[in-house]
């Protein structure tokens, strides 16, 4: 499925994650932005903040709903994507280019435990 790149890892909460050197970049999936509709606001943590796997690290708001963003892994935020904060609609244009945060993981095993693309797509199909 082209909407879900094979090289990414996924969460049941519809975030994606990919390695960037020793760090992990996080964003929301095509499914998440599609379900939300037009994204109008994104709230992200500050650089240096600590995030915990499966816990909220921010908020994404659309014309239809406000949703929490859940960290796929635990660690320290090393970068945030100011371009998405300044232009939240970019998440709808390309959810994989519009990453949200970069995290320095505290437990590499958490990344390995994330869903692979076929498993994530199956979970979406099972939900319908």
Per residue in 59-76, pLDDT tens? 999 999 999 999 999 999
Residue 8 belongs to a domain: no
Q: What is the CATH number of the domain that holds 75?
A: 2.40.50.100
pLDDT at residue number 102:
98
Q: Which domain holds residue 62?
A: 14-127
State the Rg of the chain over Cα. Answer: 13
Give the chain's domain count: 1
Instruction: Give the pLDDT score at 116.
Output: 97
Query: Angle at the Cα of 110 (from 48 to 100), degrees rounded to 5?
Result: 45
Confidence bin at 127 (pLDDT 50/70/90): confident
Residue 99 lies in a domain: yes
- Decide if 113 is inside a domain: yes
Residue 69 lies in a domain: yes
Q: Which of helix, strand or coil describes residue 33? A: helix
């Amino acid at each position: 499925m082209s909407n879900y790149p094979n090289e990414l890892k996924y969460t049941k909460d519809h975030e994606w994650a990919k390695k960037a050197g020793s760090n992990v970049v996080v964003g929301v999936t095509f499914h998440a932005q599609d379900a939300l509709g037009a994204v109008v606001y994104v709230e992200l943590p500050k650089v240096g903040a600590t995030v915990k796997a499966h816990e909220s690290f921010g908020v994404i708001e659309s014309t239809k709903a406000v949703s929490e963003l859940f960290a796929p892994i635990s660690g320290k935020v090393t970068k945030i994507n100011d371009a998405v904060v300044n232009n939240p609609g970019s998440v709808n244009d390309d959810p994989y280019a519009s990453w949200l945060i970069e995290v320095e993981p505290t437990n590499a095993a958490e990344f390995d435990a994330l869903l692979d693309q076929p498993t994530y797509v199956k979970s979406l199909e099972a939900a319908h």
